Each structure stands twice: as C-alpha cells, then as structure tokens.
Structure 1
Amino acid sequence: MTTGSDRRLMVQADKPADFEEFYRATWPRLYRTALAVAGDAATAEDALQAAYARAYASWRRVRSAEHPVAYVRRIVVHEVVSTRRRAWTRRERPSASPPEPADRAAPSTASPAEHKVTEHDAVWRAVLALPVRQRAIVVLRYYEELSEEEIAAVLGCARGTVKSQASAALANLRRHADLNIEDLT
C-alpha cells in the first residue's frame, strides 16, 4: 500500500522528465518571443531562465493549465517587462559593432531580395526602439498572432490598454518615414 508521501515522491520523480520534455519542445519558440520583446539575447536568456525556474517550481499547476505554453509565455513577457523597469537595465549596453554614421549613405546597388532584408531589418530596429510594453504588444500581436484579449491576459491588463498601446506603437513606427508598417506581418 502506498502512502501519501510515497505518491508525492512518485509525482516528483516524474516531474523532471515531464518538465524536460516541455522545456525542449517550447524553448525555441519562447526564446524567439523573448528575444523579440527584450531586444537582446542576454536579457531574453535571463528572462527564459527565470520563467522556466518558476514553471518548474509550480510544474503541477503549469502542466494542468489549459495552455501550458501560454502560461509560461506570460511569465517570460512579464519577466522582460519587469526587468526593463529596473534602473540597472537602462545602462548603456555594448554591441557587436558601432552604429553607422547617418552621412555615409551611398547609392544602393542591392538586389530586390537584399532590399527586403534591409527593410525587414529597419522594421525590427524600429520595433526595438519602442518602449518595452509597446514592443511586447507588437511582438505578441504580429509575431505570436495573439488576439487583443489574449495579449491582455498575457500582460495582465485591460483590452483597452492593449488597444491604446498598440495604437501608440504603430504611431511610433509610422514616424519612421521610410518604414512600411505592413513589413511587420
């Protein structure tokens, strides 16, 4: 006869295998989402690490949720947004290469495919320049293809807040004169 403590040990023995399978299946997509919201790999990786640690700690609840991936995605986005609020993250960050001076624009001899890549890069640079909450909404809406209701649930805010922040984000993106908003989709 098994006791309550024996059953808890059996459930905990299954926990690592279930969690490991979940982790391997979801990490690539959640990393891309975290990277798009965070804007840099280090912050994305830190947010994912914290989110998966929280998910592991409450694995029974996560596993039994209607949409476990959405549950963890919410943790990841909250982690990125809350990290961006902390003062120490607003310090200057090193980059792989210095920015190009604006006056070095030369006539383009790029192919149409190269222009598309350049336009896509310009869109993502503009998205990365958005405030983190607006960026999260743009990423969740156009990259994750979530509805306004789903985004509100992920961010823990009202649907109206999502709509107003999305509108503000698109207005910010439109300010870039050479930016085609349709490149987001």
Structure 2
Amino acid sequence: MSTNDESRQVPWLIREATGEDWPGIWQIVEPVVRAGETFAWDRDTTEDQARAKWFQSPPGRTFVAVGTGELDGVVLGTGEMHPNQRGGGSHVANAGYMVRAGQGGRGLARALCAYSLEAARTAGFRAMQFNAVVETNTRAVAAWQAMGFEVLATTPEAFNHPSQGYVGLHVMYRRL
C-alpha cells in the first residue's frame, strides 16, 4: 500500500514488517536512538531491547517502507502502532516512525503516518495520540499537524535534548 501522491512514481512500498526486516530496521533505529534528539528512549538501548520495543504483538503492528527502483528492497523507514493505553483507553492508538538517514524530506514519514492511520481505523481505533513529540523536532510537528493532529498540551522541559537542553514534549491527537 502506498500513500504518496499518485501523480508521481512512488519510490517505496509500505507493508507489514517481518523478522527478516529487522537488520534493515535496526540500521534506522540505532542512529536515531543514539542521537537522542527525537525519541525518549535510553540512548544506550541494546539491539535486543529495541527489537522487543519496536516489534508489536497484536493488536499492535510493525511496518516498513521498502525501496523500489534503485533502492529495491532497502528498508527506508519503519513504523509501529499499538493501543495507547490498556483497558478503558485501548480504543486510542499510538504510533512512532523512523526514517533512514538521507531519506528525510521526501514525504516518507507522512506516508508511514498515513499507513498507520488507515491501519488504526481498520482495526477499530477511534483516534490516534502521540504522547511525546519533541517540540524542537519542528519538521515532525509540522508534518503531524498537516496530517490533522493538533497539539493538545506541551509538558515543559520534559525532554533532555543532547544539545538544546530541557525542551517540551507535545501531546498530539486526532480523531479517526
């Protein structure tokens, strides 16, 4: 399933991830986690810990954007979606996305988001919420707002950015 503008050639295919995709996913996840700029994960997260956290069991899902053409078969981006809470909060989805270095600015994160929104809708979720969007990650904030999310609140100084110090975390939400 592709969610890009149909008027141009789509350079990727988004599909459910398999165990065989993990090496390509780890090539994306590791530098993002080590940088510590956009995800509130421990910067020393091990590969095994990351795999356990990223691969979601049902009703959660993990997916990849795999290149076509010149980058045929290369994992260019990945996402995961799961219930935001258990029990009475399980009707709201949560998701996260990471894109391979050098692939940003091409609409890939938005395509991953659109894929997860459709998957969440199909699975019966009523809304999607992002609990911790780093306010200095302005490209992501703008992308999610363009996808219909609104900033409900910002927790001041909730994220210790490695170069900008304590910055806020946005809670972002949209109905499905």
For the superposition of Structure 1 and Structure 2, which TM-score range results when normalised by the shorter chain? 0.3 to 0.5
TM-score (norm 1): 0.32
Higher strand share: 2
Max Rg structure: 1
Structure showing greater relative contact order (alpha-carbon pairs closer than 8 Å, 6 or more residues apart): 1
